[in-house]
Structure 1
């Protein structure tokens, strides 16, 4: 379609982790962005110009991520969808700011980037919302008073932000974090030893702040040693791969969510049907949020007036319709949208709140 149009296409960039052991997040995000571009192209693009998506793999490495963003800047993209993790956002936002290039993330939640008048926007809440909601549920509904926590240092901007917000809320309610154990995600991570440390103080619950693969593997080791302790996790790990790898060990896990997989909302069902038809797998939260983020950019481009930057166009409008819930930006480009808690029941995510 791009070749049939005589006008130069509008180029959008995407950056996320597309390779390695936890590429499910980045691939889901890329495909959600691609679907949004393809659907918009079928209706004529934006202002008669078709769209092209240029995807870059940050490999979850700050130096590689900076190189990828530099290439997208050199390719004169109109905006960047991504990154998909907070650590990569902290590494690359300064480049976007220098280039005055809009960067709109589907999934970055760190509070380190909140409340800043910069070129970074996001379509979800900061960690404060998810961590606080989780802490209140663990204390009031599970009855947990003593929690042990482990968090991944390779996405420290996210996990420490989440941990700090959680600690504040849980301790204010009367609970205690009796052990906090950092680790660095790798193929050589010793989850057996980590589980042993987390259970040593006989806590009511274990909180895992990690990706889907590490959460699944650690949950298996925890369950080998303790059949009843509560296992809780963060929204970063809530991809379909968690259930695929974790099996029975992740049954009953309580997890923060960006997505209500049980939603029957017409716009969500239409998106899900289109995603399944195009990619032959569930979109999960990564696909949904990247689809939403890309559509915000496309709607902003369509509304942009002469002399107005894309950032100004988006923030002037403020409200956008997501596939599942509305997206509301504040003056700094931080968002508010519906959030959920879920559990895994019979091999599927089931909404709790």
Structure 2
């Protein structure tokens, strides 16, 4: 409802009968204006919604949709409905910049996304220039750590958690000679993750005997042959779920007992769907505690499955968290305060599995978890 509407009739000289008509028109106009729906609060979502990273983007978009729908059922933000505008970056830097431009032209208050580190680096300058926060559910590159910019994230940078994978593979999985396989389509992430793994693994006495980069979609049969040429006792794949599943199949055909691990990027249900029997025994890092009994998480998971008919996985969870963080900050923002200032002023927000606390650079700490695929399911390794 509009607070007030003032209509002034200045120096009108009308016959008595005409004056009543003007009064009636004014009353109708006032009623129409007073009952006009309030302007929505617009927020954006940007991720790869097609191609090999679509599971990440679609899961994230669904998590954002769920958060917005739940908040709108509660009355929106100060009585204003929330409108979510989604764009596909297609995991292409130039297309991502174009999509970001469209979102900014739509006057969004914040954008949830992107879901990959390379896309974040490509579009962040636009958001810094516009003064609009970019709140990512899954970007972890160290290149965006500790900066005074418009970038926020609800997962920790790779330097904070990759050591856990390195330690497990060295101490529990018995690996000593590993090859790292890095997807160049998300180079900012894969190089960051690989660098942190190498530092931790070699610090314990292991050897990285090869670091092989590949372009998503290239011949994975040839890639598997190249990987095995170094005669490693283990392979760590840092890639999307599709390429990971297919590469594991090629590796297993050549070396059935090879021990293989992945980074968190591949840890969606699509990995199991595409990998089939080949991914059994695969050690998979996770941003999601699949055994969590937290009431907020169980409620979220139930609502997500009811709404979309599949598991949320880590993309759905982290995007749900990121969207709620943005909505909470928008609701709490004071007059004259930018959204960035509101995010930093509140600092700590509720997440479905754990609190989200920003430092001055918009970074947070979030635990990671290790799992193994057994009987077609992710099973936690404790």
TM-score (norm 1): 0.97
Displacement, 1:325?
1.3
SS in 2 for 1:23: helix
Are 1:227 and 2:246 counterparts?
Answer: no
SS in 1 for 2:292: coil
Per the alignment, do residues 133 and 43 of structure 1 end up closer, same or farther by CA in structure 2, a change over 3 Å counting? same
Count the aligned residue pairs.
348
Give the structure 1 partner of residue 55 of structure 2.
24
* Structure-1 separation of matches of 2:277 and 2:293: 27
* Structure-2 separation of matches of 1:7 and 1:243: 45
Alignment of 1:60-209 (within 5 A): 60-186=91-217, 189-209=218-238
Are 1:330 and 2:363 counterparts?
Answer: no
* Structure-2 separation of matches of 1:349 and 1:315: 35
Give the structure 1 partner of residue 72 of structure 2.
41
More displaced 10-residue stretch of structure 1: 85-94 or 322-331: 322-331
* Structure-2 separation of matches of 1:289 and 1:220: 29
* Structure-2 separation of matches of 1:208 and 1:5: 54
- Contact persistence 2:53–2:91 (CA under 8 A): no
SS in 1 for 2:180: strand
Displacement, 1:92?
0.3
Displacement, 1:223?
0.7
- Cα displacement string for residues 96-134 of structure 1 (whole angstroms, at most 9, x for unaligned residues): 000010100000000111110000000000111332111
- Contact persistence 2:110–2:133 (CA under 8 A): yes
SS in 2 for 1:95: helix
- Contact persistence 1:96–1:103 (CA under 8 A): yes
Per the alignment, do residues 5 and 133 of structure 1 end up closer, same or farther by CA in structure 2, a change over 3 Å counting? farther
* Structure-2 separation of matches of 1:344 and 1:111: 28
Structure number, greater radius of gyration:
2
* Structure-1 separation of matches of 2:248 and 2:266: 12
Are 1:272 and 2:301 counterparts?
Answer: yes
Displacement, 1:338?
2.2
Are 1:320 and 2:315 counterparts?
Answer: no
Unaligned 5+ segments in structure 2 are 1-34
